[in-house]
Amino acid sequence: MPDRVTLAFSGGLDTTYCAVWLREQGWLVDALTVQTGGFDADELALIERRAREAGVATFQVVDGRQRLYDDILRTLIAANALRGGVYPLCVSAERVVQAALVAAHAQQTGAAAVCHGSTGAGNDQIRFDVALRALAPQLRILTPIRELALSREAETAYLAERGVHIAPRTTRYSVNRGLWGVTIGGGEIHRSDVEIPESAWCLTASPDARPAQPEECTIAFDGGAPVSLDGRSADGVALIEELNERAARHGFGRGVHVGDTIIGIKGRIAFEAPGPLTLITAHRELEKLVLSRGQSFWKGVLGELYAAQVHEARFFDPLTRDLAAFLHSTQQRVCGEVRVRWHQGTMQVASVQSPYSALGASSTYGEASQLWSGEEAAGFAKIYGVGDQLLTAIARRQQVQ
């Protein structure tokens, strides 16, 4: 009886190649598609058809969206996590959940191995390998694309010879779409001196298709978590999906990220994250009203570290749990409403309100205060500047000598 392998199957070029290749090597292939967002009913049907064409033994879809939100995205919002100041970690969070559900499926079915379609030149290979070894160390990890060092053109030709045809777009670009956004790699995107062509974008509206009029939306937060849109309660998953759709209509959420990869080289991707960027921007503005100076500073430092842990395949390091605990502790008073406005590829925060706002509490910046007198303010300014006054006097004496 052939051994079973659980394949993390997206229906794209790489994982379709893996399915066919594994079958031809004598494996019984159980294709598992983990729905972490981005697949509608038509796309899931296409993925299943492609799995059947590839000759898999079984095909199954599991929904990992709620787990993704609960385990990681909720904390990324608390962290205002933007890699390089721009990129909201669209893919890395999903890989943790996908690997966990693939490992669980393999253990339930008695598989001898798991397989993913990562190349040997990107971050995803590390994320999958680290998570799979942490969760199911007894399973063999198969990576045909990495081991055979195949080009996308070679994979396409291999499948075509076997009657499995992949659309040219899938061959040219590597596209990952999920709840937390879309990443696009391949082709000219790897070059920093070339603009991303309009044809590469797949979620956000092109300039000529965007509405002429702006659209506003009010997002309510409770304990740092988004809980409603325009007065309608929604769970985290549904809320992110709606924001992705509404903001994308206006072309908002496009970006390009260049950064250091886990394996030590520079990488460049295009991304579309209309919902995440809307949420993070709104959440950050609400925090400015309610957090102390120290909380804001250390949230910036430790939030960036949490994001790095997730991005760089350190999710199972105990430090990641410790950082998450701190971040969520800061969110107790992050409650209120933020009104945002999308228009022609941009988003602005129009207004912010919170029952815990410290803005204007007994004082108005630059105008008047009920907490101190003008004489007291002058005394504070004098004492505050004593250190600088003394040091500049010493510097002048040095110059004279």
Domain boundary among 172, 194, 209: 172
The DSSP code sequence of 325-393 is HHHHHTTTT--EEEEEEEETTEEEEEEEE-TT--TTSSEETTTEESSS-HHHHHHHHHHHTHHHHHHHH
Question: Torsion-angle region of residue 355: left (phi > 0), alpha (psi -120 to 50) or beta?
Answer: alpha
Q: What is the CATH number of the domain that holds 202?
A: 3.90.1260.10
C-alpha to C-alpha distance for 82 and 85, rounded to whole angstroms: 5
* Judgement on whether residues 42 and 23 belong to the same structural domain of the protein: yes
Q: Are 223 and 354 in contact (CB under 8 A)?
A: no
Tell me what the mean pLDDT of segment 184-194 comes to: 88
pLDDT of residue 364: 67
Q: Are 34 and 40 in contact (CB under 8 A)?
A: no
Residue-wise pLDDT for 89-99, tens only, equals 999 999 999 99
CA-based Rg of the chain, rounded to a whole angstrom?
Answer: 25
DSSP 83: B
User: Higher pLDDT residue, 169 or 359?
Assistant: 359
* Judgement on whether residues 311 and 260 belong to the same structural domain of the protein: yes
* Judgement on whether residues 347 and 370 belong to the same structural domain of the protein: no
Q: What is the residue-averaged pLDDT of the chain?
A: 94
C-alpha to C-alpha distance for 249 and 218, rounded to whole angstroms: 17
- Identify the band that residue 372 occupies on the pLDDT scale cut at 50, 70 and 90: confident
C-alpha to C-alpha distance for 285 and 343, rounded to whole angstroms: 19
401 in a domain, yes or no? no
* Judgement on whether residues 104 and 61 belong to the same structural domain of the protein: yes
Element (H, E) at 242: helix 236-249
C-alpha to C-alpha distance for 279 and 181, rounded to whole angstroms: 12
* Judgement on whether residues 154 and 282 belong to the same structural domain of the protein: no
pLDDT of residue 169: 59
193 in a domain, yes or no? yes
pLDDT of residue 43: 92
Tell me what the mean pLDDT of segment 28-43 comes to: 94
305 in a domain, yes or no? yes
* Judgement on whether residues 138 and 223 belong to the same structural domain of the protein: no
Taking 90 as the threshold, does the pLDDT of residue 342 lie above it?
yes
pLDDT of residue 361: 67
* Judgement on whether residues 167 and 188 belong to the same structural domain of the protein: no
Closest CA to 83 of 226, 192, 202, 180: 180
* Judgement on whether residues 92 and 234 belong to the same structural domain of the protein: no
167 in a domain, yes or no? yes
Tell me what the mean pLDDT of segment 161-169 comes to: 83
397 in a domain, yes or no? no
For residue 221, give its domain range. Answer: 181-353
- Identify the band that residue 197 occupies on the pLDDT scale cut at 50, 70 and 90: very high
Query: Number of folded domains in the chain?
Result: 3
* Judgement on whether residues 107 and 232 belong to the same structural domain of the protein: no
Q: Is the dihedral of CA 42, 275, 101, 5 positive or negative?
A: positive
H helix count then E strand count, the chain: 15, 16
- Identify the band that residue 44 occupies on the pLDDT scale cut at 50, 70 and 90: very high
131 in a domain, yes or no? yes
Residue with tokens 């941009």: 346
Phi, psi of 312 (to 5 degrees): -100, 30
Taking 70 as the threshold, does the pLDDT of residue 46 lie above it?
yes
* Judgement on whether residues 216 and 156 belong to the same structural domain of the protein: no
* Judgement on whether residues 368 and 342 belong to the same structural domain of the protein: no
- Identify the band that residue 174 occupies on the pLDDT scale cut at 50, 70 and 90: confident
Q: Are 140 and 132 in contact (CB under 8 A)?
A: no
* Judgement on whether residues 168 and 69 belong to the same structural domain of the protein: yes
Taking 80 as the threshold, does the pLDDT of residue 155 lie above it?
yes
Cα distances from 46 to residues 12, 14, 33, 63, 151, in angstroms, run 10, 15, 12, 17, 24
Please give the structure tokens belonging to residue 157.
Answer: 């030709």
User: Higher pLDDT residue, 180 or 39?
Assistant: 180
Taking 80 as the threshold, does the pLDDT of residue 366 lie above it?
no
Q: What is the CATH number of the domain that holds 89?
A: 3.40.50.620
